[in-house]
A and B are shown apart, each in its own frame.
Chain A
């Protein structure tokens, strides 16, 4: 599947090294408030740094700090990709 710039996707679908802008958090289970309080609000830039050795959780950079969250939590975060680095590696 090739994703073009601007297409709606979730944070979980980003690849390491990619940057995206948050579009919103889908409400499932009431945790969206917790993520927003950590600074994951609409319009904020996030970068996926890497996945943990077993592929989960993931590490992102947001508002100047590093945050670890599970893939299941990242699925709730809607993003718009802004650029992809040439290698796709962290």
Chain B
């Protein structure tokens, strides 16, 4: 057994040269154990070239060395169903070059659903690496009347078994000791596995030879990998193209060998389809029968009881709406207070710096470019922190899966699954945390489509633009006796965003992932449990850190470019701020694009606003205020509204803006990707520039077309 021999001989331990992988079903408590083992010494990044998140941390030993721990994505089987699964499966089966060599694998098992969890665990044990099974949630199992003899389990599967209750910290010290024993070569068990019939063994000889020649797997691992490849085409396909490697040169040869083996078995009348799964569950049934003692029979499960209310036909959706209503309230309203504090704090800091630095380009660059850019990053933190605090609690408690269960039917009508509902609803507050929340969508094409349509939800940054336009141009008349027109228009803008998102999703469904099988909705509804505050806080911290460090860089860079455009060329001393922005590069660009935006009813002033508001949509308002020389105006400013209403075309004397212009502009803002932070966060979450660029292009085209139709159509109908 090659793998074991490699792992064992470290008698003199070298510093930090060990690799540990944590693997397990989703919701098995894997991340809680990872947090308990590594503390805050964690790094979150991406696997190269893919969207899958890579998490590593350090485990320090008293023996003067440390172990690098890799928290692999959760999965149910070494036969992968998604890209996340494939990364984990490739690492465990030695197809990935990510980790040179694994010294120990910790398989986390949810003791309260032992059979399903043993499926993956026994597959991993068979790969022949030193395995520790962390039998998690022993308390939940016991209260459900399941008593597990962990010693018997250990001897049956051939791995060390450590009972733990991760969220209470029970058993973690023992787990740690067992990990050290293995890396120091002091503890091993003879792995056990499924036993295929003799005919299978002989038919698979050519497949085993191929694996021996083309992989690093141990002899034992090859035996089981061969059975898996025989059993399922999906497992066979894994050898074609490792997640971050090239197509295997000899893959065709492997396919031929597998086909020959299947044919040979067909002739002998031996069934091979899903053979591994059949044999494994038969074996698991035996293990279960001998290691588990049911202390109580058929008692109604606590979670099932809770679900009588939480997923009830009528109460379920009501509770769902109440919970998410409260969360949006928190992002929408409560986050406002720290956001204002951050804004004024950054402004204060800028003025302090401006006070101590000599006037000039450098001062302006630092204060108006860099510090304002940092402010643009930090201002999102309250929303991100609020959303992820609640989402993490809901995910850990098990409720998020129920929300997806309740909403699946609705979301399926737009070709998505229930998992997309929370990111999309969150995007009504802000697309940034919404897009970051798409991590819980397991299907990768569903996730991409959700990311791509999230910015179409009318976020809070659009409100100032809507408010200014509605306030200035939409008369407060009463419609149909009870509704006020301004309110109706505002509601219409929200609905318009939703309709556009549905249409975009349906169109994208035809392009994204059309080669993939249709998304399934086989989803485990985990038992409800008390979320761990520590895990929640670590998750919130992680999200905030990722946003600031990864997306923040891009936001800062774009901020400085936008500053440059508005700052140069330098105005003459006697110029007003309006003249200054007019002659800047941003002003020149605004004039330059005027012919293109004329058909939408926009003039060069709005043109300038379209350029500056790429920083954030609400910047449109302050830009217009600058252009009209209205000092310190916001969307409620009467002076600014009057300035817009009174503006006349110098040639014709007609008003520059009409109610039709206002509607056209609102339609444009509803659809256009006027937000550099969204672009930055999409880049971070999809790990490429491909999707953010597509997003900017498609949303701009959509916005332009819709505004064109609204303005020209409106003119034809005699409005404006």
Contacts and interface: CB of A to CB of B under 8 A. Distances in A.
A47 B405 CA distance: 17
B313 A73 contact: no
B186 interface: no
A36 B517 contact: no
Interface stretch (B101-109, B110-118, B327-335): B110-118
Contacts of B311: 50, 52-53, 59
Interface string A9-35: 000000000000000000001111111
A39 interface: yes
A44 B277 CA distance: 13
A37 B234 CA distance: 12
A33 B405 contact: no
A38 B522 contact: yes
A66 to B, nearest CB: 4
Contact of B314 (A32, A34, A53): A53
A31 B113 contact: no
Given A38-B116, A39-B119, A59 B405 contact: yes
Given A38-B522, A41-B278, A55 B116 contact: no
Interface in B481-530: 517-518, 520-527
A42 B112 CA distance: 22
A6 interface: no
Interface stretch (B35-43, B74-82, B647-655): B74-82
B114 A64 contact: yes
Contacts, number: 122
Contacts of A68: 401, 404-405, 408, 521-525
Interface in A56-71: 56-57, 59, 61, 63-70
A56 to B, nearest CB: 5
B274 A53 contact: no
A90 B596 CA distance: 62
A90 B308 contact: yes
B395 to A, nearest CB: 16
A66 B310 CA distance: 14
Interface bin, chain A: 20 to 34
B464 interface: no
A53 B406 contact: yes
A59 B522 CA distance: 10
A18 to B, nearest CB: 15
B281 interface: yes
Nearest to B119: A37
B520 to A, nearest CB: 6
B274 A34 contact: no
Given A33-B232, A53-B316, A41 B277 contact: yes
A64 B112 CA distance: 8
A49 interface: yes
Between B76, B146, B418, B522, the greatest number of chain A beta carbons within 10 A of the residue's beta carbon is seen for: B522
A54 interface: yes
Contact of A31 (B277, B313, B520, B523): B520
B715 interface: no
A40 to B, nearest CB: 9
A39 B119 CA distance: 8
Interface string B388-402: 000000000000010
A31 B77 CA distance: 14
Contact of A67 (B231, B281, B517, B524): B524
Nearest to B316: A53
A69 B401 CA distance: 12
A33 B85 CA distance: 15
Given A36-B274, A36-B277, A57 B303 contact: no
A72 B52 CA distance: 29
B520 A73 contact: yes
B116 A39 contact: yes
B410 interface: yes
A67 B525 contact: yes
Contact of A65 (B113, B278, B308, B522): B113
Contacts of B112: 64-65
Given A29-B517, A30-B234, A33-B277, A52 B408 contact: yes
30 contacts: A30-B233, A30-B517, A31-B522, A33-B79, A33-B234, A33-B277, A36-B277, A36-B278, A37-B79, A38-B522, A39-B115, A44-B281, A52-B405, A53-B311, A56-B408, A57-B409, A57-B521, A59-B307, A59-B525, A61-B304, A65-B116, A66-B524, A67-B524, A68-B405, A68-B521, A69-B520, A69-B521, A70-B412, A73-B521, A73-B522
Given A41-B278, A53-B316, A66-B525, 16 more contacts: A29-B518, A30-B234, A31-B517, A33-B79, A33-B277, A36-B281, A37-B77, A37-B119, A37-B277, A38-B76, A38-B524, A50-B307, A67-B522, A67-B523, A68-B405, A68-B522
In the A-B complex, the 5 residue pairs with the smallest Cβ-Cβ separation, listed nearest first, are A65-B113, A54-B409, A66-B525, A63-B115, A36-B277
